[in-house]
Chains A and B, each alone.
Chain A
Amino acid sequence: MKPAPFEYVRPDSIAEVLDHLASAEGAAKILAGGQSLIPLLSLRLARPEMLVDVNRIPNLSTIRASNGAVRVGALVRHSQLVSQDQHPLLAAAARWIGHAAIRTRGTVGGSLAHADPAAELPVVAVTLDATVHIAGRSAERSSPASQFFIGSLETNLADDEMITAVDFPWPARWGFAELARRHGDFGVVTVAAAEVAGRWRVAVGGVGPTPLRCPAAEHLLDQGARLSEVAAAAAAAVEPSSDVHGSGEYKRAMTEVLTARALAGQGLA
């Protein structure tokens, strides 16, 4: 379990990162926290020719509020999310990520770019329809989370692009619930719900290739429907497949349970 050889570069600026990515023509990978990438390298399931270590690029580790949202730099560690108080939903969700040592290194940018369907932050990003800020050689762009995730471990990032920051809208009310086999494991099912600008949004992780929005449940919430109806609507929206940690049927049922749990205590009927 040792990584295959690669070239290692440690640029000081985003521009240099983009140059490296472009010149490698798809054979380079960004290395951020390494908590997902390094296991893949060690298993030789990923074998890029070049690793572009972005950890020393300045100004990517800040969290600050900006009109109704919280802007989180790509290199903000999960541990920083846990201890900040500007965005409680992010703090609550980040607490569920792995263990202390994983959170020390793992980054927000890495988690979104890795796009694990069971990961917490992508669920939160989709729930809030966060805006992912992306630097590219030709232009900067931003992508709404709803479009950013396109499949399991797949995003709309091009080979030569890099996430620089993410804007997470600030919810007036929110809830988060997860079911994991053990403390610190990826969730079997994860549900986040948030009320942003007067509208409820609900997304579920672990039940499809990307976090899934549940429009029917959101609609019911906005109408002040009963919690049990909302939860049932969320479950009806997903069609999970089976794996070693649970059957599709179980995950669907857990979607209902966790939706109810996420929303408990929000003053809903």
Chain B
Amino acid sequence: MRVELTVNGGLMTVDVEARRTLVDVLRDDLNLTGTHAGCEHGVCGACTVIIEGEVVRACLMFAVQADGARITTVEGLAGDDGTMHPLQEAFCAHSGLQCGFCTPGMLLSALVLLGRERHPSRERIREELSGNLCRCTGYMAIVDAVEAASRGPGDLPVPHQQST
């Protein structure tokens, strides 16, 4: 099936088998390998992407279902000139990652959380990120990073989700 996806602001057309999951199409067909697959049954959160402003498990959606959708992946967070998103900066500054495998999903989940609640407590951050497993950090540094970003001065935009 032909599918049109707006990924990180760019319109992409791919011809895919209906059974291919969105995470596989992003990674294999569009070469956007920043989105990871850790379980392929919806539990780990490594495949999290943002679709129409909301977090979605890309392993629990077929690419054909995303036809016409606006998708933000981790590759779309930094600016065109490579400037990191404040949340990415916060993860780097607070040791919010080790192996980095969970990080893309973690960033996107945190970003949508901060869009909804600008100043969540540590407890709320822990609750809301509990759908994204990290085996390396023990989470404390991730919570630190998200908390720091929430206290930062600037905006925390969700890139490529605004209608043009």
A-side residues, CB < 8 A to B, are 1-8, 10, 31, 34-35, 38-39, 41-43, 51, 53, 55, 79, 98-102, 104-105, 182-184
B120 at interface, CB cutoff 8 A? no
Contacts of B51 in A (CB 8 A): 104
In the complex, A41→B24 CA distance in Å? 15
Interface-forming stretch among B52-60, B88-96, B137-145? B52-60
Residues 129-147 of B, flagged 1 when their CB comes within 8 A of A and 0 if not, give 0111000000000000000
Contacts A4-B19, A35-B42, A100-B113 given; indicate if A184 touches B62 (C-beta within 8 A): no
Tell me how many residues of B have a C-beta within 8 Å of chain A: 30
Bound together, the chains give a CA A1 to CA B23 distance in angstroms of 13
A100 touches B109 (CB 8 A): yes
Complex contact B42–A102 (CB within 8 A):
yes
Closest to A101 in B: B55
Whether A1 and B41, one on each chain, are in contact in the complex, defined by CB atoms closer than 8 angstroms, is yes
A42 near B41 (CB under 8 angstroms)?
A: yes
CB–CB B61/A99 < 8 A:
no
Q: Are B56 and A101 in contact, CB atoms less than 8 angstroms apart? A: yes
Asked if B112 and A5 sit within 8 Å, CB to CB, the answer is no
Between A and B, 5 residue pairs with Cβ closer than 8 Å are A35-B57, A38-B60, A55-B65, A104-B54, A182-B130
Contacts of B40 in A (CB 8 A): 1, 42
- A51–B18 touching, CB < 8 Å: yes
Is A101 touching B17 in the complex (CB atoms < 8 A)? Answer: no
Q: A98-B131, A184-B131 are in contact. Are A6 and B18 (CB under 8 A)?
A: yes
Known A43-B41, A99-B131, A101-B48; contact A5-B109, beta-carbon cutoff 8 A? no
Q: Mark B38-74, 1 if CB is under 8 A from A, else 0.
A: 0011100100100100111101111011000000000
Q: Which residues of B contact A39 (CB under 8 A)?
A: 41-42, 60
Find out whether the CB atom of B18 lies under 8 angstroms from the CB atom of A105.
Answer: no
For the residues of B in contact with A, the DSSP-based class is mixed
Q: How far does the Cβ of B113 sit from chain A's closest Cβ, in whole Å?
A: 7
* Per-position 1/0 for B7-48, Cβ under 8 A of A: 000000000011101001000000000000000111001001
Q: A100-B128, A183-B127 are in contact. Are A8 and B62 (CB under 8 A)?
A: yes
Judge whether B99 is part of the interface by a CB distance below 8 angstroms. Answer: no
B 86-108 to A, binary, CB cutoff 8 A, 1 in contact else 0: 00000000000000000000000
Please count the residue pairs between chain A and chain B whose beta carbons lie under 8 angstroms apart in the complex: 87
Which of B48, B60, B65, B113 gathers the greatest number of chain A CB atoms within 10 Å?
B60
Which of chain A's residues have a CB closer than 8 A to the CB of B57? 35, 101-102, 105
Residues of B within 8 A of A55 (CB): 65
| Known contacts A34-B60, A39-B60; is-contact A101 B19 (Cβ 8 Å) | no
- Give chain B residues whose Cβ lies under 8 Å from the Cβ of A183: 127, 130
Count chain B CB atoms within 10 A of each CB in A1, A7, A79, A182 and give the residue with the most: A1
Residue of A nearest to B54 (CB): A104
- Which of B1, B24, B54, B132 is close to A79, meaning CB atoms less than 8 Å apart? B54
Given contacts A4-B19, A6-B19, A51-B18, contact A101 B109 (CB under 8 A): yes
Q: Choose among B19, B45, B109, B127 the residue that contacts A2 (Cβ–Cβ < 8 A).
A: B19
A101 to B112, CA, bound (A): 10
A3–B16 Cα distance when bound, in Å, is 14
Smallest CB gap from B126: residue in A: A183
| Min CB–CB distance B112 → chain A (angstroms) | 7
Residues on the A chain within 8 Å of B61, using CB: 34, 38, 105
Chain A residues whose CB sits within 8 angstroms of the CB of B45 once the complex forms: 99, 101
